[in-house]
Amino acid sequence: MKKRMLAFAALLLMGLLHACEKPQQKFETEFIDLFDTVSQVVGYAADYKEFSKFTKKLHEALLEYHKLYDIYNSYEEVNNLKTINDSAGKSPVKVDKRIVELIIFSKKIHSQTNGLVNIALGPVLKIWHDFRTLAAENPKEAAVPEIALLKQANEYTNIEDVLVDEAASTVFLRYEGMALDVGAIAKGYALERVCEAFEHAGYKSILINLGGNVRAIGAGQNDKPFRVGIKNPLGGKFLNIIAVRDRSLVSSGGYERYYMFNGRRYHHIIDPNTLCPSDYFEAVSVLCRDSALADALSTAIFIMDYESGLALINSLEGVEALWVLHSGEIKYSKGFKAFIVN
């Protein structure tokens, strides 16, 4: 009898010791030198050394994509998107296959979204970027570009004139005046490719936020999904907290990159049909496995009406979305609420 009791006590004590066992610790870090935005990494590891070893590798991988997809800066011995833009109308540019793959993916998305996500819209986006920068530096000088100027720039935004030779790994913009701008796609695409590589390498519990593009590798502590809060663009508490495991969650909205003119907000998400900032929603979020797709779709459904956006989301397997209307009302796709945990 005593033996049985001792065994029972030992089992209980083992249980207690297990409960008090030091778990994998949670660590966080930020990068401020990637894709003109702030990135955040959350992960579980045995110690900080293990975590920082991972984040160093992650930063190196993302930095390579950052340099390749940069449209503003040149880098030694790197032909990037700026090189392609600078060579518009002159000659094809031999580039890394990661640029070729991005452009092929972007063309597919262009077709899937009826042209709403267009990486050739650079000339129009540059005008808005310049007006936004001017207004931020000197609010008294704020203005809105003339529609004639925007239409003139729009003459050079046909994605069919972005010529890709996959075999030769070259890209050529057929006319001078054309320019690529991959702001609606590049962060999500780069993040997806990098996360895939880390998944194959065996990493299991990492959450990355690359400027509003969140991607989870595995889940959090004790195999519970990571918790991602969606900010309410109209202020106050989170709209929702979403359970994310091996998925991506991307938000788009006009509440950070904008300027004010005559009491109206002019943000950075431009509708290729009107050549002006889209005005359907305060914000949208897309939830799906692939971060590249989530990034592109979040831009696409931000610049189409709710019914068209819902139809697009419903046509794709494993994709969910939410829309925040100007009134504060929130609309969800059919399966989105299953991921809400608050």
The answer to whether the CB of 301 falls within 8 A of the CB of 316 is: no
Segment interacting with other proteins (CB under 8 A) among 32-40, 73-81, 161-169, 306-314: 32-40
State the helix-helix crossing angle for 48-68 and 97-112, rounded to 10 degrees.
Answer: 80
Does 13 help bind other proteins (rule: CB under 8 A)? yes
The answer to whether the CB of 123 falls within 8 A of the CB of 179 is: yes
Label the pairing between strands 248-253 and 213-218.
antiparallel
Segment interacting with other proteins (CB under 8 A) among 141-149, 247-255, 302-310, 330-338: 247-255
The type of residue at 6 is L
CB of 205 to other proteins, least distance (A): 11
Segment interacting with other proteins (CB under 8 A) among 28-36, 70-78, 98-106, 175-183: 28-36
By CB under 8 A, name the one of 9, 163, 197, 201 that touches other proteins. 9
The answer to whether the CB of 310 falls within 8 A of the CB of 333 is: yes
| Separation of alpha carbons 216 and 267, rounded Å | 28
CB of 134 to other proteins, least distance (A): 10
Task: Write each residue from 155 to 194 as x if it is in contact with other proteins (CB under 8 A), else as -, in one continuous string.
Answer: ----------------------------------------
By CB under 8 A, name the one of 98, 107, 245, 257 that touches other proteins. 257
Task: Write each residue from 116 to 155 as x if it is in contact with other proteins (CB under 8 A), else as -, in one continuous string.
Answer: ----------------xx--xx------------------
Q: How far is CA 190 from the centre of its chain?
A: 9
| Separation of alpha carbons 108 and 17, rounded Å | 55
CB of 289 to other proteins, least distance (A): 17
By CB under 8 A, name the one of 105, 203, 255, 280 that touches other proteins. 255
Concatenate the DSSP letters of all residues of 181-247 into one string: --TTTHHHHHHHHHHHHHHHTT--EEEEEETTEEEEEE-SGGGPPEEEEEP-TTSSS-SEEEEESS-
Which is nearest to 171 in space by CA: 119, 116, 111?
119
Beta partners for 243?
A: 227
- Which residue number, 98 or 231, has a Cβ lying nearer to other proteins? 231
Task: Write each residue from 204 to 243 as x if it is in contact with other proteins (CB under 8 A), else as -, in one continuous string.
Answer: ---x-x--x-x-----x-----xxxxxxxx-x-xxx-x--
Which chain residues interact with other proteins by CB under 8 A?
A: 1, 5, 8-9, 12-13, 15-16, 19-20, 26, 28-30, 32, 36-38, 40, 42, 132-133, 136-137, 207, 209, 212, 214, 220, 226-233, 235, 237-239, 241, 249-251, 253, 255-258, 283, 285
